[in-house]
Structure 1
Amino acid sequence: MLRDELVELLSPGGLTLLDSLPPYDSERDIVKLVASLRSAGHPPALVAAVLTQAKLRAKAGGAQGKFGDFAERMLFTEAGLEQATRLRVAARHAARFRDAGIRHVADLGCGIGGDAMAIAALGLRVTAVDRDEVTAAIASYNLAPFPDTVVEQGDAEGFDITRTEALWLDPARRTAGHSDTRRLTDSDDWSPSIDWVFNAASRMPVGVKLGPGFDRDLIPGSAEAQWVSVGGHVVEVALWFGALARPGITRAALVLDDDGAHELTAPADSPDEAVGELGAYLYEPDGAVIRARLIGDLARSLDARMIGDGIAYLTADEPHRTPFAQGFRIVERLPYPEKELRAALRERGIGVLEIKKRGVDVDPARLRGRLALMGPNSATLILTRAAGRHTALLAERLTP
């Protein structure tokens, strides 16, 4: 979004027009809607801006969006929405500051203001800072309902941290812009840099949101690292320092699903269980558990064992319900060679096949095409290594 577009959008007429639009529908005749708005005398730039906002509000809202019903009163940029924290996760970030007795938080690199909204909603004072003028203006709009919140345009590393009690940081890990941004692979190029973040964390309570694939070797020993999974997808690792870190915990896997929040915690990476015989059930740990390296603790809670060294599948003789893994009942072993596997699947009339794999070099999409599936039945095929041997397992999912 350009500055001129934002000025038009933030005018009383622009916001009124935006709120007057019908709910965004990708199937609607957009050309006809544009023509109708233009014939009503609205400038082309304003029409484009409000339609873009309507589309982004629809993407951000609803049961599957990051902001739910709140999206109807927010403004976005494409990059800002993509990089924003889900409100459900942001609420848990905010609770850390509240529970630690923090009264004033500086959100450096606030983006469109998602985390700052959650922190302010708990009655904490927030100073939100973003270096991009348009993004800072949008954050100001989104945070307007909270009187104890101030938005400033500025660089995170130039912020005087003595002005606040604690910091929340979401370093910019992509190139500048509001759409089509590129990921920055070197943490020295982030804004603020990871060295600056860790230096600040040695002086005051700090929370920092990072990508789930952040190099574990760079995590300081003083930090609590919490990997977060939402609906089966790992969305971040948050590092907590000082009063924001829980005593005795350096590794945590937080799983958020339709049933609520579930967490595994440990003082350190947990040792794996021993490799054992393949049982009647197989478990695929949630990605947050895998990244937190708490597979061994999960295995022990399920009375399960590893199926192979370095393979993130567990096996057990009895079924167990757990929010930390998807369970499968092993129906039967199938031959692993592709020609024999294809024949076995045809014999069983399997026309719809979910393919999962770990520890084997297989492209599931290409394999599915080569299998030439036919028949009325559906199943899950798990390709892996059990006790060092390539193994094909026909399985069915266990219901939660």
Structure 2
Amino acid sequence: MERSELEALLSSRVLTAVDDEARPETPADVLARSTALRRAGFAPEEAAAILTQAALRRRARVKFGEFADRMLFTRAGLEQATRLDVAARHAARFRDAGIRLVADLGCGIGGDALALAAIGLQVRAVERDEVTAVLAQYNLAPFPEAEVVVADAEQVDLAGVDGAWIDPARRTAGHTDTRRVDAADYSPSLAFVERTAARLPTGVKLSPAHDRADLPEDAEAQWVSDRGEVVELVLWRGGLQREGVRRAALVSGPGGVAELTAAADSADEPVGGLGDHVHEPDGAVIRARLIGDLARATGTRPIGPGIAYLTGDGPSPSPFTTSFAIDAVLPFDKQRIRKELHARGIGRLEIKKRGVDLDPARFRKELALRGDEEAVLLVTRTAGSRVALLCHR
């Protein structure tokens, strides 16, 4: 979004039209709505802004719920924003530590700042991109507890601040097209993060795939999974980390929130024979390397050396796993698998893999599926060989 686009968007007439606009569903709808808006007296750039914001608000409901209907976005800002329910847990960590004024350094469109302010914390939201900062000001307008400062996060005055939240930009600058950058190019830099954590209680949001070799020894590393997707790694430092916790996997979904914690990476359990069920650990548990603790807690065992599937008899009630009942154990042979699927009339097949070189989409086509039944195929390695496990959830 360029400054001229922002200026067109922020007129009261255009903002009212954004609030009234439904998201066009097809290219034909976009054309029809653009024509209708032009006929209503909106300039081309105004019509484009209205339709773009309507589409972004619709997408944003996944992250922000009803709040999305009064917020403004850029495509890149929405993509990088923290989901509101996840941000609410960040905010609670600061509140529970007795922190009153939080500096949100690199606030983007204001997602985390919104969650902090919503529970009554004072927020100094810092954003160096002027267009993004204006959108953050708009999104935070209902919260007098929040102020937006247009500045470089590494240069801003932190006098009076009790704690810091830092979400380094992990993509090139831009409001539309971006690309991922190396950790050395994060903004604010990881060196600045270190300096800040040495003086203030600090939470740092990173990619869940961040190099584990770079994790500070004094940090609590918490991988967060939301509705089945691992969305972030947060490093809690400077008094925000919990005593005795250095690894955590937090899982959130329709059934609520659950967390697995440990003082360090957990040792794996010995590999055992196949039971009648396979259990897939949540990605946050895998990232946190707590599969061994999960196996001991659920009475299960690894299916093969270095394989992140567990097995046992009966389904697992654990919120950290998805369970599959095994219907057939097959050699990893395409012809044998195809014959079994045809005999069972399986026409819809979800394919999962671990520890084998396989393109699931291509393999599915090669199986020439037919029938009305559905199943899950887990292709993996046991202690002895590669196998295909025909399962149902």
Range into which the TM-score falls when normalised by the shorter chain: over 0.9
| Structure-2 residue corresponding to 1:12 | 12
| Structure-1 residue corresponding to 2:175 | 178
Alignment TM-score, normalising by the size of structure 2: 0.98
1:51, 1:197 → 2: CA distance?
Answer: 38
Q: Which of 223, 229, 243 is the aligned partner of 1:227?
A: 223
- 1:297 positional shift: 0.7
Q: Deviations over 1:32-55 (max 9, x none)?
A: 211121112111111111111111
Corresponding residue SS for 1:60: helix
- 1:290 positional shift: 0.2
| Structure-2 residue corresponding to 1:145 | 142
| Structure-1 residue corresponding to 2:53 | 53
2:143 matched to 1:158? no
Q: Return 162-171 or 264-273, whichever deviates more.
A: 162-171
2:183, 2:156 → 1: CA distance?
Answer: 19
Unaligned runs of at least 5 residues, structure 2 = none
| Structure-2 residue corresponding to 1:374 | 370
The answer on whether the counterparts of 1:346 and 1:375 sit within 8 Å (CA) in structure 2 is: yes
2:330, 2:370 → 1: CA distance?
Answer: 17
- The AA in structure 2 aligned to 1:281 is H
1:77, 1:283 → 2: CA distance?
Answer: 39
Counterpart mapping for 1:215-294 below 5 A: 215-294=211-290
Corresponding residue SS for 1:162: coil
Q: Deviations over 1:62-100 (max 9, x none)?
A: xxx100111111000000000000000000000010000
| Structure-2 residue corresponding to 1:357 | 353
1:51, 1:351 → 2: CA distance?
Answer: 40
- 1:163 positional shift: 3.9
2:317, 2:34 → 1: CA distance?
Answer: 52
The answer on whether the counterparts of 1:212 and 1:227 sit within 8 Å (CA) in structure 2 is: yes
- The AA in structure 1 aligned to 2:78 is L
Q: Which of 71, 74, 77 is the aligned partner of 1:74?
A: 71
2:323, 2:132 → 1: CA distance?
Answer: 43
- 1:249 positional shift: 0.3
Unaligned runs of at least 5 residues, structure 1 = none
| Structure-2 residue corresponding to 1:188 | 184
Corresponding residue SS for 1:204: coil
Report % sequence identity: 59
The answer on whether the counterparts of 1:228 and 1:254 sit within 8 Å (CA) in structure 2 is: yes
| Structure-2 residue corresponding to 1:118 | 115
- 1:319 positional shift: 2.3
Q: Return 174-183 or 39-48, whichever deviates more.
A: 39-48
The answer on whether the counterparts of 1:90 and 1:118 sit within 8 Å (CA) in structure 2 is: yes
- 1:335 positional shift: 2.8
| Structure-1 residue corresponding to 2:338 | 342
- 1:347 positional shift: 2.0
Q: Deviations over 1:148-207 (max 9, x none)?
A: 2110111111123334111100001100110110110x2121111112102211221000
- The AA in structure 1 aligned to 2:43 is P
Once superposed, what is the RMSD of the aligned Cα atoms? Answer: 1.1
The answer on whether the counterparts of 1:349 and 1:374 sit within 8 Å (CA) in structure 2 is: yes
Corresponding residue SS for 2:380: strand
The answer on whether the counterparts of 1:188 and 1:195 sit within 8 Å (CA) in structure 2 is: no
Q: Return 198-207 or 337-346, whichever deviates more.
A: 337-346
Q: Deviations over 1:105-153 (max 9, x none)?
A: 0001100000000001111110001111100000000011111211011
Alignment TM-score, normalising by the size of structure 1: 0.96
- The AA in structure 1 aligned to 2:280 is E
2:74, 2:135 → 1: CA distance?
Answer: 8
| Structure-2 residue corresponding to 1:42 | 42
| Structure-2 residue corresponding to 1:25 | 24
